[in-house]
Amino acid sequence: MIISGKSAKGRAGADEVARRTVAGLRDMVPASVGGIVFLSGGQTPQEATDHLRIMNTLGPHPWKLSFSYGRALQEPALKAWGGKPANVKAAQDAFQRLAFANKAACAGKSLAEIRV
């Protein structure tokens, strides 16, 4: 994704990130490519999900836009778990919630807009 550097003053908002990323992809990626998956690349889990969701609202695109967010999916679950057996259910719930949110983002929707 085309995002501002972490120390940039006046970082680009989610709409601008999505617009610039889609424009860059349209300029450089052939329509014959089946899909493009994104890493979270230092974004927060919420930022990565929001950017993907907005990009998918700008379609239709000639390729599928999806995610490969290992760290962004795991981070909230690991934080909820904290290494404590009593927190396993909370960690599973955190992971599932974010997985469903990113599934929705692939369809250009928010978690509230889909049935899970």
Q: What is the number of H-type helices and E-type strands within the chain?
A: 4, 2
Q: Give the C-alpha separation, 4 to 7, whole Å.
A: 8
Question: Which residue ranges make up each domain of the chain?
Answer: 14-113
Q: Inform me whether the pLDDT recorded for 5 exceeds 60.
A: yes
pLDDT value at residue 110: 87
Please give the structure tokens belonging to residue 2.
């085309």
Confidence band (pLDDT; 50, 70, 90) for 71?
A: confident
User: How much is the pTM?
Assistant: 0.85
Contacts of 77 (CB under 8 A, 6+ apart): 91, 92, 94, 95, 98
Contacts of 112 (CB under 8 A, 6+ apart): none
- Residues 22-33: pLDDT tens digits? 999 999 999 999
Across the chain, mean pLDDT equals: 92
